[in-house]
Amino acid sequence: MNDREARLRKIRNFVRKMPSLSTTVSKVLEICSRPDTAPNDLNRVISLDPVLTGQVLKLINSAYYSLVNKVTSLTRAIIMLGLNTVKNLALSTAIIRCVDRTRKSKVLPIRKFWAHSIGVGVMAKLLAAEQGVPLGEREEYFVAGLLHDLGKIPFGDEYIEVLALARQEQLALVTAEQRVLEIDHEEVGLMIAEKWKLNEAITDAISHHHTPEQAAPENQQLVATIALADSYVCLFDIGFAGNRFPDEDRLLQALELSGLSWEMVSALTGAVEEEIRKAEIFLQV
């Protein structure tokens, strides 16, 4: 067995042992994928899990949504924010909990990892607004950004070598991963997305945010937007993801696929900081 196969086996084992999403969250995803789902159907499923209900209501009443009046009923929250947003809230909190229960390498400090991930989610959502993405669909961009780097979680201490090479030779992180490990975090992310049965758009964002042109045509705009948001957050050093030198050609390609200009992206600097502060509530639920 060569080194790559041995590493893949180790990573597959790690992914297999990662906690599964709760039955409630799996049911939420299943219900929301049906075209005829009503707010009441979703309410019935989430209500069976008091912890999840509390978390969703806490998020909805946080500064992140800046609602005028406090929302105390889940049905009201679903009607106000839409099925998609509540589904994504449930998914985000469940995944953050799962990752936090997983044995982690010391190489990527988890708080900094999530700070980076939240930065990408917030930036992606702001860029979605710039692209004219309907309000109800922007939360998908936030969640795709929040989860895009999940594939880094299973790497062990050998990742120190990857980070050192990326830093010394000023390489894009995926290039360093391929050189040192012959596996990259997009490939590992796909394993996790499949384990948790995440939808196609989010799976594409996790497994193609460095190669948006390889995503399904209908997801390329979303994935390119995540790629842009990721480059921005890495360049401005928000949190830590190990990718201090994003590939410039990839950045140009992401701009083209998303239909945005770097001026539009960098003009959002003030808004990003403010939104990141509000979104930190996701780590406190």
Q: Which residue has the tokens 């707010």?
A: 39
Please check whether residue 123 is in contact with residue 272, taking contact to mean a CB–CB distance below 8 angstroms: yes
Please check whether residue 114 is in contact with residue 145, taking contact to mean a CB–CB distance below 8 angstroms: no
Angle at 45 between CA 44 and CA 47, to 5 degrees: 65
Phi, psi of 138 (to 5 degrees): -70, -25
User: Can you give the pLDDT at residue 247?
Assistant: 87
Domains and CATH numbers, the chain: 19-101 (no CATH), 105-285 (1.10.3210.10)
User: Can you give the pLDDT at residue 109?
Assistant: 85
pLDDT in tens, 162-182: 999 999 999 999 999 999 999
User: Can you give the pLDDT at residue 1?
Assistant: 63
Global pTM reads: 0.92
Among 78, 10, 73, 72, which residue's Cα sits nearest to residue 40? 78
For 188, residues 6+ apart whose C-beta sits below 8 A from its C-beta are 11, 15, 151, 152, 154, 155
User: Can you give the pLDDT at residue 285?
Assistant: 65
pLDDT in tens, 147-160: 999 999 999 888 99
User: Can you give the pLDDT at residue 167?
Assistant: 94
Query: What stretches in the chain show pLDDT beneath 70?
Result: 1, 104, 285
